[in-house]
Structure 1
Amino acid sequence: MRVLLALILILALGFGGWRIWQANQPDGSVVPPQDVVASEEPATQATDAAADAAADAAAVAADVAAEAVQASEEAGVAPVSEAAAEAEAAAEAALDAADRAADAAATAAEGASAPVTQAAQDAAQAANDAAAATDQAATAAVAATRIQSLLTPEGFDADQVTRIIDGAAIGDAQKATLKRLVETAGNNPDLLRQALDQVKAVMP
């Protein structure tokens, strides 16, 4: 559920970043000197909003990456570990984007009109980058938690577990043994738990 909420938040952040970006695109008009000061404030506000959006996205990315890592530790198998590593890398990218957005906001607070406008655009782009990285982190986290769930009696799906075994870096004979073990356990939760524990113990 937390990952689903994270995905919803990511979509909202991405849309907000896009709106900020669109609002600050140059339209080719010349701003009269008397309007320069007046134009700085909206641009600065847009820059701050983009920086906040990027920071929120990075926080979500860090959260879902932590969930993926937890799932990896509980499952202890390569597919989950790989998804968790991808989520962590995406979270780092989101944090970097948030840093860029914060730097742009600082520039806007100190600069003249032209730097402020550019800073707003830089911050909006950084917010979009952070949202995209967070989306990637959430997708990887969903994959990690899904695989982790499949390797429990409660979330067991025979076809999906068979695919996981087939994709494991183990010998064909060992794959066949694991698949027979899982199939034999059937719908008995205790036997199935033992069989899935065997799968996790053998898989890299």
Structure 2
Amino acid sequence: MKNLIVVIVLVAAAAVAYLVLAPKSAEEAAPMTETETVPAVEAVTEEVEEIVEEATETATDIAEEAADVVEEAVGTATDAATDAVEGATEAVTDAVDEAVEGATDAVNDAVEGATDAVEGATDAATDATESATETASEATEAATETVAEEATEAATEGTNSMLDLLSPEGFNYDKVVEMVDGSELDLMKKTALKTALDSAKDNPELLTQVLDQIKGALGL
């Protein structure tokens, strides 16, 4: 813009110089009077002033138009930048929302999976505990029955063995004496029974009576 104004001023100055120098050349050919030269200079000066004024107005108009164009361009660029920022902000917001939703869904799925796994493990542990309890109960019952049966059989066998020893047919003096000594009878009773047994061991009829006394004393 400044260059344009400079060009216009230079053109005007050249025109003035031409108009001023032209009369001087004419003077050399044909001298002029002083009264004729002054009006000519004034006319040229006025013409130059008009040219400069018009050039200034033109330059001003061009500058104003250029300013308007620049302002419109800046406004358009600002609007475009604003729209771009808003679009980018919306895109980022949408991306963040989607990421948060995805993470939330993933966490919920993980929690549900863990809950199902815990429930499954709890059910399995409960079933295993119930099964183990039932098995232990059955084993305990079986062991109790076995022990009871064996104890009963042993007691029965012991009783039968004692009864055999306390019969005339299965009598064994030494074992009967051990039986009496190992019983819970008092010492006096034990001594009386052993004395009677010692007296009857060689007398079958008397032995039967003494053996019956011993069985009665032992609760057999």
Report the TM range for the smaller structure's normalisation: 0.3 to 0.5
TM superposition score normalised by structure 1: 0.37
TM superposition score normalised by structure 2: 0.34
Q: Which structure is larger by alpha-carbon Rg, 1 or 2?
A: 2
